[in-house]
Structure 1
Amino acid sequence: MTSSQAATALEADVIIVGAGPVGLTLAMDLASRGVRVLIAETREYAQPPSVKCNHVSARTMEQFRRLGVAQKLRDAGLPEDYPNDVVFRTRMTGTELTRIPIPSRRERYTRTDGPDGWWPTPEPPHRINQIYLEPILLEHTAALPGVTLLNRTQVTEFTQDKHGVQAQALDLDGGATRTLRARYLVGCDGGSSGVRKAMGARLEGTPVIQRVQSTYIRAPELGARVAGQPAWCCYAVNPDRCGTVFAIDGHSTWLVHNHLNAEEPEFDSVDRDRAIRDILGVGEDFHYEVISKEDWVGRRLVATRFREGRVFIAGDAAHLWVPYAGYGMNAGIADALNLSWLLGACIQGWGSPAMLDAYEAERQPITEQVSNFAMDHAQKMIRARRAVPPDIEAEGAQGEALRAEVGREAYDLNVQQFCCAGLNFGYYYAGSPLITHEAEAPPPYTMGDFTPSTVPGCRAPHLWLADGRSLYDAFGPGYTLLRCDASVPVGALVDAAEAAGMPLAVVDLADARDALPEAYTHALTLCRADQHVAWRGARLPTDAQALVARLCGRAARMPEPIPSEACAAG
């Protein structure tokens, strides 16, 4: 629900500072666990967001499926038949160099060809701009029971003790101050996060990798000037000005990124209009309207801490990096979903506060990995832009050969960021108190590639069940035990979980519709709510209660896995 300001104190289980995609997703997931949430947001209700994120990853869409909002998002954004391709041209209206095919949303579930058509997931990625994404998340979240949204409200300070957090909130319209109380507080308040600063955490890393002069424009006649099939994203490659153009509504609005060079240190170093025309490949007679300026700085910064007692940060408040592979917002949503089930376990009473130690132990190292992937790709793109041949637009056989070579190089370099299976499915958690440590290491991954695995810490590989559901549709709100061999007894674990109040679902995979992925090498694979494997074995450990205690954060060591000599029968 929405609420105007009042003089009385408000209480909840969790205070969320910020109602962007990360804060809203956190609220949705907490609400699904019966957790009462207060969201403090400085903007007015339904105030349009800026034109930032353009991509929702498969991992995020998998969770939006669970939260009941995936189809609403699929139905929004570009027209249903608009290709989500990434194309490289000399200029947007110039000669095509190469194309990375990505299905339109109408074909997203049915097409299996192309560099991301093979992905093992019930929910492929979705190209949708934040101006369409965020209002859907907001409307969905505001209607949930247990969620109170306070707009035009700024959290100015907070204190905490062993029982909870007390925050002071300022009404930005009326000037009144009210008190908010909760057991926990999470800052999802962006790169300039006041919560992070109040925690005493700092952003460390590379403050400037590249500046991008970004402009949101209305140009209804632009599409007609583009030869060939349209595309969601167009890279312009020419010696005058390299840039990127994103289709926003598929008709008349576009976001134009002008990638500044190192010798252009300020956003006003380059004539904006001239740069836009060079990227689009249009003359002075072409009319467009500037809707807004969206200039941004590419960075690689990670917070020194993600937590201080009962206070946490997530999303841009915790990390900022060049948004290659679309993993800015999506990494923030992954933070939120990692934290949410841990908070839910503690608030519901079956989880020990020690479970919360897993959040920083898991997400901070992943943030370092992903941000370095993005920074490495950014450096390669910077070099590629500086190496554009001056005669790339030349006519004749020599020009055609040159364009073909540049096209091949552009495809090979960029297919991994736009079809980034590794970043979606390959990352794993190591060094976590809620993950078994095995001699077998998780398989390495790149931005584009990964090896499915059930090594603890990895994402449980997907498959379709006999009843047509996705494996993840069968996951419970706490832990889920996947049993490849129905003859292996699991009653001791079920009983121990029930005694501890720990939610545990048991899913038999022996009659799955798909062939069981080779990665399921053990008869038993125990998964967490966020789809990551916590433990596996050929049979239960001798002391099932000790395993449950560990899963609930109440024991110092996870039982060792039992080898899988019996799993071949499953």
Structure 2
Amino acid sequence: MTDPISDVSIFTGRYGALVPDGLEASRQSCSRARGGCVVSSRPDTVVVVGAGPTGLALACELGLAGLHTRVLERREAPRRDSRAICLHARSVEMLDLRGLGERFLEAGLPVPSFPLGPKGAVIDFRRLDSDFPFILDIPQSQIESILLTRAQELGVEIQWSAEVVDVAEDDAGVRLRVEGPAGAGEERAAYVVACDGLRSLVRERLNVPFPGAPNPGSVTLADVYLDGLPMTDAHGELSEGGMLLVFPFRDGSCRVVLYDYARASVPVTEPVGLDEVREGLVRVTGSDFGVRDLYWSSRYRSESRQATRYRVGRIFLAGDAAHTHSPAGAQGLNAGFQDAMNLGWKLGAAVAGWAPDWLLDSYHTERHPVGEQVLRLTGMQFRLNTARNRRGRLRRRAAYRLVTPLPPVQAWMARRYSGVSVAYPPTISPSHRLTGTRLPGGRLTLADGTAVRVSELFHDARFVLLESARDGKRADLADLPDHVRAVSYVRRDGRAWPPSLLVRPDGYAAWASDEPDPGRRAPALREALRTWCSRADAARSTRSADTSP
């Protein structure tokens, strides 16, 4: 597949920046003031700060919701390096909910297992209850390129060379000060989401604490060709010299992640060359694996931190601006994707006027505990892999040789690392056992006989009310809010669902009922719809039941 990034043409934008072709330089009136540009925003404008994977994924969600969305990025142009490389099953599932699954599968390489460190110690994803039981190895440049293309299709404005230097909330919304090559300007927005990374200026301006600490030692990343390893699965080794992880790409090259104890104290600003990679491979594994053709490299030191708050008024934190951790388990990019999918539809509901009062607060309530779980998981694995004293080595040997291979442990690890185990606290009491859990994929046979993939029902990011019609009984599905799609089905492949199931736009169950009689469960359904899908003063329109997506 051709890298979409090569097809993106750019032109000068408002701040002298680079903007993807096909987007207006501005949809708004712009007047010069004190050498800058003052923008009178529309009331539905949402500004995303940062055009990394989290920011672009969020921008796609906002564009799909019909919001006027602007992404401000201080880089001059789209990324061309790989940085993060692994998409876990839940991330691919979420992309598939929006019809992007095939685009990513064509660009990436599905790999059945994830290396934990020592040779042979892996997480096997092949039995995972998912349409995508693998990790998808794909360079970050391609991830961002696909999302950038989709954002353009949805009318999102991307502003390059636009650095946010100040942000504050006032009675009219949020005001941002932006600098670029042509001068400074002001942006206004109804909401702002900071996806500006570990050193987030927005988080700093909000004075949100970011407790944590740097992880010991620097890590070397290198994209190379290794003639001595098969490029069909990931590979790991751990020795007294350090740790090696290898992730293959579709084009036959691979990502080398090298934690070389002999070079762990080298400043991150020092470049990484092919000779250093070769020598590090030999020190850690005893072989250079025929390494050749280095085409990108970096050195970095990770940190483990989490913001104490993900929301301050009309400003939100997402991705690395909200949480950062060691690279163990390849969790960072994937956690950011989940942030974006959780927040996007909620902001869409708020701007559209139908969001319940508590909905925006639920972003922090749901995602902050997940961030804590990721910090614990990655911290535990990082400490286990890097322990160098005798007790630590014995603990590591016992964990990887005796515990990790056990089938129940493999199943638990596959669910936890892949993200499919993430569940959110119930909103309605009493709650069903499925409330807050992800909706698995698979296929449905609709009431009219049409067969569809479950993910197809969520392409337009609405709530989906799934009603079983197997016994011929049908609920009265008229008078639903416009943002709720009703689907009657007669069969589902795999484990049966409850007779009635209300699913959020991000694919998590909001409400469910085991009551087989539509009339008897109707009051509880109406209460669920009131709780999740409306405000007392929100205008409502109706949509009759769908029998096809």
TM-score (norm 2): 0.77
Q: Partner of 1:31 in structure 2? A: 63
Q: Partner of 2:164 in structure 1? A: 155
Distance 2:73 2:429 in 1: 40
Structure 1 residue 503 corresponds to structure 2 residue 513: no
3-state SS in 2 of match to 1:505: strand
Deviation per CA, 1:341-360: give whole Å up to 9, x if none.
00111222222453211111
Q: What is the CA-CA distance between 1:377 and the residue it aligns to?
A: 2.2
Q: Partner of 2:309 in structure 1? A: 305
Distance 2:358 2:534 in 1: 5
Q: What is the CA-CA distance between 1:126 and the residue it aligns to?
A: 1.5
Q: What is the CA-CA distance between 1:286 and the residue it aligns to?
A: 7.2
Q: Partner of 1:429 in structure 2? A: 424
Q: What is the CA-CA distance between 1:3 and the residue it aligns to?
A: 5.8
User: Which of residues 513, 533, 536 is equivalent to 2:512?
Assistant: 536
3-state SS in 1 of match to 2:99: coil
The one-letter amino acid paired with 1:98 is G
User: Which of residues 25, 29, 52 is equivalent to 1:20?
Assistant: 52
Q: What is the CA-CA distance between 1:543 and the residue it aligns to?
A: 6.9
Q: What is the CA-CA distance between 1:278 and the residue it aligns to?
A: 1.8
Q: Partner of 2:542 in structure 1? A: none
Gaps of 5+ in 2: 1-9, 16-29, 32-38, 537-549
User: Which of residues 372, 380, 384 is equivalent to 2:384?
Assistant: 380
Task: Within 5 Å, give how 1:63-102 maps onto structure 2.
Answer: 63-78=94-109, 97-98=119-120, 100=122
Contact 1:41 1:153 in 2 (8 A): yes
Contact 1:169 1:178 in 2 (8 A): yes
Higher strand proportion (structure 1 or 2): 2
Q: Partner of 1:451 in structure 2? A: none
The one-letter amino acid paired with 1:511 is R
Q: Partner of 1:559 in structure 2? A: none
Q: Partner of 2:375 in structure 1? A: 371
Contact 1:158 1:167 in 2 (8 A): yes
Distance 2:502 2:431 in 1: 17
Q: 1:40 to 1:404 in 2, by over 3 A?
A: closer
The one-letter amino acid paired with 1:159 is A
User: Which of residues 121, 126, 130 is equivalent to 1:117?
Assistant: 126
Q: What is the CA-CA distance between 1:272 and the residue it aligns to?
A: 4.9
Deviation per CA, 1:262-291: give whole Å up to 9, x if none.
x965658999564333235347x9775665
Contact 1:354 1:554 in 2 (8 A): no
Q: Partner of 2:531 in structure 1? A: 550
Q: Partner of 2:434 in structure 1? A: 455
3-state SS in 1 of match to 2:523: coil
What do you get for the CA RMSD once the two structures are aligned?
3.7
Q: 1:11 to 1:286 in 2, by over 3 A?
A: same
Contact 1:239 1:389 in 2 (8 A): no
Q: What is the CA-CA distance between 1:169 and the residue it aligns to?
A: 1.1
TM-score (norm 1): 0.74
User: Which of residues 72, 84, 108 is equivalent to 1:53?
Assistant: 84
Structure 1 residue 276 corresponds to structure 2 residue 268: no
Distance 2:376 2:93 in 1: 25
Distance 1:417 1:40 in 2: 39
Contact 1:88 1:407 in 2 (8 A): no
Q: What is the CA-CA distance between 1:473 and the residue it aligns to?
A: 1.5
The one-letter amino acid paired with 1:212 is S
Q: Partner of 1:339 in structure 2? A: 343
Contact 2:219 2:264 in 1 (8 A): no
Q: 1:123 to 1:347 in 2, by over 3 A?
A: farther
3-state SS in 2 of match to 1:181: strand
3-state SS in 1 of match to 2:239: coil
Structure 1 residue 471 corresponds to structure 2 residue 503: no
3-state SS in 1 of match to 2:138: coil
Contact 2:89 2:418 in 1 (8 A): no
Q: Partner of 2:467 in structure 1? A: 483
User: Which of residues 31, 38, 41 is equivalent to 1:11?
Assistant: 41
Q: What is the CA-CA distance between 1:422 and the residue it aligns to?
A: 6.2
Q: 1:326 to 1:241 in 2, by over 3 A?
A: closer
Distance 1:216 1:349 in 2: 48
Q: Partner of 1:215 in structure 2? A: 221
Q: What is the CA-CA distance between 1:327 and the residue it aligns to?
A: 1.5
Q: What is the CA-CA distance between 1:369 and the residue it aligns to?
A: 1.8
Distance 1:157 1:132 in 2: 30
3-state SS in 1 of match to 2:419: helix
Q: What is the CA-CA distance between 1:482 and the residue it aligns to?
A: 1.6
Deviation per CA, 1:503-552: give whole Å up to 9, x if none.
1112223333x14x15x3x3211111111111122243537654333113
Gaps of 5+ in 1: 91-96, 102-114, 391-402, 441-453, 556-570
Q: Identity across aligned pairs (percent)?
A: 24
Distance 2:355 2:98 in 1: 22
3-state SS in 1 of match to 2:120: strand
The one-letter amino acid paired with 2:429 is H
Q: What is the CA-CA distance between 1:35 and the residue it aligns to?
A: 1.2
Distance 2:530 2:398 in 1: 60
Aligned residues: 484
Q: 1:424 to 1:468 in 2, by over 3 A?
A: farther
Deviation per CA, 1:285-323: give whole Å up to 9, x if none.
977566555233343311111011111010000001123
Q: What is the CA-CA distance between 1:326 and the residue it aligns to?
A: 2.0
The one-letter amino acid paired with 1:132 is Q
User: Which of residues 200, 206, 219 is equivalent to 2:207?
Assistant: 200
Q: 1:44 to 1:139 in 2, by over 3 A?
A: farther
Distance 2:372 2:209 in 1: 15
The one-letter amino acid paired with 2:138 is I
Distance 2:528 2:216 in 1: 48
Q: Partner of 1:324 in structure 2? A: 328
Q: 1:548 to 1:85 in 2, by over 3 A?
A: closer
Contact 1:86 1:231 in 2 (8 A): no
Structure 1 residue 234 corresponds to structure 2 residue 235: yes
Distance 2:223 2:483 in 1: 50
Distance 1:187 1:247 in 2: 32
Distance 2:530 2:102 in 1: 37
User: Which of residues 134, 140, 144 is equivalent to 2:144?
Assistant: 134
Q: What is the CA-CA distance between 1:159 and the residue it aligns to?
A: 2.5
User: Which of residues 340, 351, 355 is equivalent to 1:351?
Assistant: 355
Contact 1:214 1:294 in 2 (8 A): yes
The one-letter amino acid paired with 2:373 is Q
Distance 2:523 2:431 in 1: 20
Structure 1 residue 190 corresponds to structure 2 residue 222: no
Deviation per CA, 1:25-71: give whole Å up to 9, x if none.
0111111111111000011222424x321211222212222333322
Q: What is the CA-CA distance between 1:98 and the residue it aligns to?
A: 2.8
3-state SS in 2 of match to 1:215: strand
Distance 1:198 1:245 in 2: 39
Q: What is the CA-CA distance between 1:138 and the residue it aligns to?
A: 2.1
Moved over 6 A (4+): 87-90, 268-271, 384-390, 403-410
Distance 2:56 2:507 in 1: 20
Contact 1:170 1:178 in 2 (8 A): yes
Contact 2:137 2:248 in 1 (8 A): no
